[in-house]
Structure formats: C-alpha cells, structure tokens
Amino acid sequence: MGSGMDMGWVQAVARGLTMLSSPAVHLLFAILLAAAALLGRTITFESSELALVWPAAAIHFLWGLWSLRSRRDVAVVLIAAIPVLATVTLVTGLSPALATGVVLGSTVQTVIASYLVRRLVPRPGIRTVGDYLRLGAVALIACSVGALVIVGGSALDGSDSPFSVFVPWLVRHAVSLTAVGSLGIILAGGIRNRAAGRERAYPNSAGPNEAAALAGVSLLLYTVTFGATSGLPVAFIVIPVHMWAGLRLRSGWAMVHGLACGGFLILFTVVGRGPFQELGEGVATYAAQSFMFIAFSLSAVLALSMDERRHLIAGLYRANAEAEASADLRDLVISRMNDGVLVAGPDRRLIFQNETSARWLGSGAAQPGEPWQRDYEITTADGEPLADAENPLNLALQGIATERMDLDLIHPDGQVLHLSVDAMPLPGERGAVVVTRNMTDERVYQRDLGRFASVVAHDLMTPLTVFDGWLEMLEDPDLSPAERQSSVGRLQQASLRMRTLIRNLLVYSLAKEERLSPADLDVTDAVQGIIELRSALRGATVPPVRFTVLTHHPVHADERMFLQLMENLVGNALKYGRTDGTAEVTIATSVDADTGRTLVSVRDNGIGIPEADLDRVFDEFHRSENGLTRASGTGLGLAICRRIAESHGGWIAVRNVPGGGAEFTVSLPACQDQMPGSARREGVAASSMASAQT
C-alpha cells in the first residue's frame, strides 16, 4: 500500500509540474539560473576571477531548449536571462567587461546549443548513446563560440593573455552543459511520463540493497582516493564503481551517481587533496572536472547502452508477441474459411492445411510434416482420371500457377466432392499453396436447373400444344356443339395442368427460402379440412376411401406450409391408392422418444414404391415407374414435402407397408423450443408483435 501511495504522490507532483503556466516555468528557471550562477561564483580564480565550475551553463541551456516551443518563450529567455546573469556576476565582484563577456558568451552558446540539439536530436530526450554523443559534440561547438566571446571580454578588461581563458571556459561550460544538461533532459522526460501515467519501460537492474551498496562503495573509494593528503596517481581506482553504476542502473540514476561522485572529486581537489593537488592553480580543478566528465560519460554511455539493449529486447518481445498474435489470427481466419487451404513444401511435405481442407481430403491424406499422399481418386469434370503431370499441386511445385481447375474428388466410401482448385507457387521455390472451393452444391444446382428446364419445357409445352390444337378445331364452323364442348373441356384440363405445374414450382422454390411464422397447430382440424376438400373434389364416380385419423399430438409449425405438406401427402396417398373400393388412408401422430418431436405419418394400402426408388423418391422431378400410368404429376410434390420438413428442422422418410402400400413419416416440432434457431427467433418476434398489437 505504501508503494502505491508513493507512486501516486510522485505522479501528482509530476502532473503539477507539467501543468505549470509559462510565466511560472520562466520564473522557476530564472531562480535556478541565479542559484547555479551564485554556486559557480563561490569558487573562483583569484588571478582571473573566473569560476572553477559553472552549472549555470546547463540551466541556461535547458531553459533555452524548453523555450523553443514558441517564439515568445524564446524572446523571454533571451531577455530575462541577461539581467539575472549580469546581476549575479557584478554583485559577486566580476568586472563589467568580464561580466558582459560572461552574459553574452552564455547567451550565444545557449542559443547555438538549443538550436543544434533540436536539429540533431529530433526525438525529445536522451535515449541512446548516439543522442549523448551528439549532445557532447553540440556542447563543444557551442561552448567554443561562447569561449571566443569571453576572450573578447577579457581583452576589453585589459588582460595580457586573453586567450588563457578559452580552455577554462570551454572545459567548465562543456562539462556542465553535457553532464547536467543530459540529466535535466532525462529528468524532464521522466516527469512527462509520470504525469501521463506511463510506467517505466524497464526498471533498474539493481535492487535497493545493491543501490545502497553502490553508494557506500563509491563514497568510500572517492574519500580514500581524492580525500587523501598524498598526491598518488590512483584516480583510476574509482573507475569500477562507474562501470558498476552504468551496468546496473538506468541512465538517469547512473548520471546522478556520476554527478554526485564528481561533486566529491571537485570538492576534495579545491581544498588541495587528492591526486591532482600538485598541479598548478586552477589546473587541478579543471583536471578534476575533466576526469569527472570522463567517469560520468563512462557511466552514462554504459547505462544508455544497457537501456538501448533493454529497449531492443522489449521491442523484440513485443514484436514477437505481435507476430504470434497475427499468426494466431491468421490461422484462426484460415482455419474457419469455407475454402480449403493447404501448403506443401518443395519436397511435397505438407506444411499446413486448415480444417476445411482436412475434412474434405479425409483422414487418409497427409498430416503436417508428412510427404503428400492420398487415398482418394481425382478425376476431371468429365470423369477422366487426372494424370500426375496435370495435378495442380505438382504444377505449382514446378512454378506453374493453376486457376479454377474443376476436379472431382472420389473417396473410397463413394462420396464425391466437386472442387474448383487454385494452386500458386510460393516465392523462392519454397513450395506451393493450394486453395480449393467446394462446388458440389453448385454442380447439383446446375444439374437440377438443367433437369428443371427440361421438365418445365416439356410439361409446359405439352398443354400449350393441346391449346393450339383444340383452339384450331374450335375455329371450324362445321364443328358440332358436342364436339365444341369436348374441345372446351380439353382446353380446361390443359389450363389446369399448367396452373398446377406453375403452382408447384413456386411452392418448391419458396419452401426453403421463405421465412416461417410458426404456431401451435391442431393436426386433426387441418387433416379433416383436407379430407373434406379432397372428398368433394373426387366426385361420386370415384371409389370411396376410408380415412382413419389418429392425430392426438400437436405440432408447432408454419400453418400454410404444414397444410401444403399434409395436402401433398394425403393427395399422394389418394392418387396411388386402390381403386377397387378398399382404399384406406391412415393419418396418425406419435412422439419421438429420442427428441420429443411430433411424428406425423400418412399410410395407404396402394401400389407402394419400388425398392430401387425408395432413396430417390424425394428428389426433384423424380417419379417412380409404377406410378406414371396411374396419375399425372410434376415430380415436385414429395420434394416440396422434404423442403418443408427440413425448414422446420425435421426430416421425412418413407417405407413400404407389408401387404401393399407406403407410409410416409415426417418429424416436426412439438413446441417453440424445437424450432431451428433462426425460425425460433422469428417466431418469438412474431408472437411479441402480435401481443403488442392486441
């Protein structure tokens, strides 16, 4: 809980800093610049009155870099920094000429450094070793120009050797701008990330205990090395702690460690201790700063390198995760495709196939990693065996693409799939990909369409021929009234046949596509109405039929389609029943013990169905040979019954009855829950609408 509260406090402070107004930020930078300048002026050369360290260079640079977001802020920095620096330098005893040189030199180098960093480091922040090196190069260039300005100020001040201030200025300003400036840029980036609620991309490798140990060892080594009164050249002893910090801390903390160590180094050197104490006045301090900058840069470069490595590893893991997610999505999409997809290598070993391809090719086909094999026969659309040289997979492996090749795949159990095959070679001769589309339904549809066109053309042309013939006879003025009446009767029969055919075609085409409006139906009422209508239409000259109705179970179905179903079945029983006066038709219902659905059966004692036709009797336009002489028809009645049953989620079957006749059984829903999903939803919507209207 404490850690969470600490993180919340840090985030709140970060948000507060990012929400500061521009005037508040300018004021904050002005205060920091004045404090840094005062710190630098507390340590000066007595001979030249120049500061030994100058952290104000970094603050001035960071202020200028922040101000580049708008021209107004740049103008404020250029105007506001001048009086701050001038006041501090004059109050602390610097001559007006040198004070002018300090102010102008600092301003010029700040402008140059800010501009060059913005151009050379387009990304906000110091994130890589390259960014740090570019900042160091910018510092050398900008501080060299600033040093030339202070040389001019020193000359105006009457110095005998004005160029003697060039190197001191360059060293102290370049070190400050690079070290403190890079840390400030990283700190600003951390504040923005915390304010936005973004977690650190990668934490320190060192835990709290290791960090404490690093601080203790660093303090001990720097005290022993630079706090000693002897001038032994043992400064290199502290290098390992900087390597330790660079390898185990994030770049920001490694830089903080380097600056803290540098502070101890300069402090001990200023008081005349450590390995640089025997150098001349001021030289010791600048040597210490140079050593501090080298040690600081070592930590910074190592830490930035480790951050880059962690960033690359994190990016690699992220890219790998994204690639795996993309591969999973691709595999999911391909596996759920209605088309079959398989990929084989140049050695004909199967690399991949989706579920559809595996289902179509069967369990005997090759599995991933196995050489391509098959236990099925492939023929052309004309039924000719397909030669290996014409196989789409073989052609693709040879670099030849195949498009829309129609093939028949025949399994050992006799199942036939009509496929359209596309095969493409993979780039670099890495194998081939084969895409297959199941055209079986389309082939059946085309076959049915051709048969449909043939039957319709024949059955519609016949009545039209009758029309033409008898109409021509009616034009004969010598035709007797009896013959004329007979012609009119034949015309009426031809018209009735055409209407019946067209009605059956429409019912058949709509039986599968039309939406259902299911309701609870009384089978007895529906059947009695059909029987009464059929009995009235048959007339007194036709032998009577004894009907037995044993319908005690309800059905839940579309009323119009159920009536069509029962009318077709009852009409079929009457057409092919006995004509000697002993015809019987029994309509009964029962409950399917397995599913709870209602079974409706219609049984007659007529001519029955030849055994060879039992599996084909529900096909479109099929008529059994033994029924062709008994009654006319289109061969669509039982096909309509099958479609109606299937649209209700059921089935229809037929069997011959011992002793003669046939029995048709239809499975239909007994309640709303037994309807197919889409029909169930439509039924519920229809019921809700009816209730609302009521």
Query: Can you read off the two tokens belonging to residue 443?
Result: 């082939």
Question: How far, in Å, CA of 146 to CA of 151, rounded?
Answer: 9
Whether the predicted pLDDT of 116 surpasses 50? yes
Whether the predicted pLDDT of 402 surpasses 80? yes
User: Which pTM does this prediction carry?
Assistant: 0.54
Report, as an integer, the average pLDDT of 618-625. 63
Question: What pLDDT does residue 1 have?
Answer: 39
Percent of the chain with pLDDT over 70: 80
Give the range among 29-33, 191-195, 310-314 with minimum mean pLDDT. Answer: 191-195
Identify which has the larger pLDDT, 174 or 409.
174
Question: How far, in Å, CA of 432 to CA of 544, rounded?
Answer: 71
Report, as an integer, the average pLDDT of 308-316. 84
Whether the predicted pLDDT of 12 surpasses 60? yes
Report, as an integer, the average pLDDT of 126-148. 90
Residue 426's Cβ-count burial label (10 Å; 0-12, 13-18, 19+) is middle
Question: How far, in Å, CA of 36 to CA of 30, rounded?
Answer: 10
Identify which has the larger pLDDT, 73 or 471.
73
Q: Which bin fits 434, alpha (ψ -120 to 50), beta or left (φ > 0)? A: beta
Report, as an integer, the average pLDDT of 323-351. 81
Closest CA to 218 of 257, 250, 255: 257
Task: Calculate the average pLDDT of the chain.
Answer: 79
Question: How far, in Å, CA of 573 to CA of 606, rounded?
Answer: 7
Query: Can you read off the two tokens belonging to residue 176?
Result: 């400050």
Residue 535's Cβ-count burial label (10 Å; 0-12, 13-18, 19+) is middle
Residue 510's pLDDT band (cuts 50, 70, 90):
low
Question: What pLDDT does residue 666 have?
Answer: 94
Report, as an integer, the average pLDDT of 645-661. 88
Whether the predicted pLDDT of 626 surpasses 60? no
The C-alpha angle 114, 119, 123, rounded to 5 degrees, equals 95
Question: What pLDDT does residue 461 have?
Answer: 64
Question: How far, in Å, CA of 540 to CA of 413, rounded?
Answer: 53
Residue 587's pLDDT band (cuts 50, 70, 90):
very high
**Interacting residues of 172 by C-beta distance below 8 A, sequence separation 6+:** 51, 52, 53, 54, 57, 286, 289
Q: Which domains does the chain have, with CATH numbers?
A: 1-199 (1.10.1760), 201-334 (no CATH), 340-438 (3.30.450.20), 445-511 (1.10.287), 516-688 (3.30.565.10)
Question: What pLDDT does residue 111 have?
Answer: 92
Question: How far, in Å, CA of 492 to CA of 41, rounded?
Answer: 124
Residue 227's pLDDT band (cuts 50, 70, 90):
confident
Identify which has the larger pLDDT, 170 or 465.
170
Whether the predicted pLDDT of 218 surpasses 60? yes
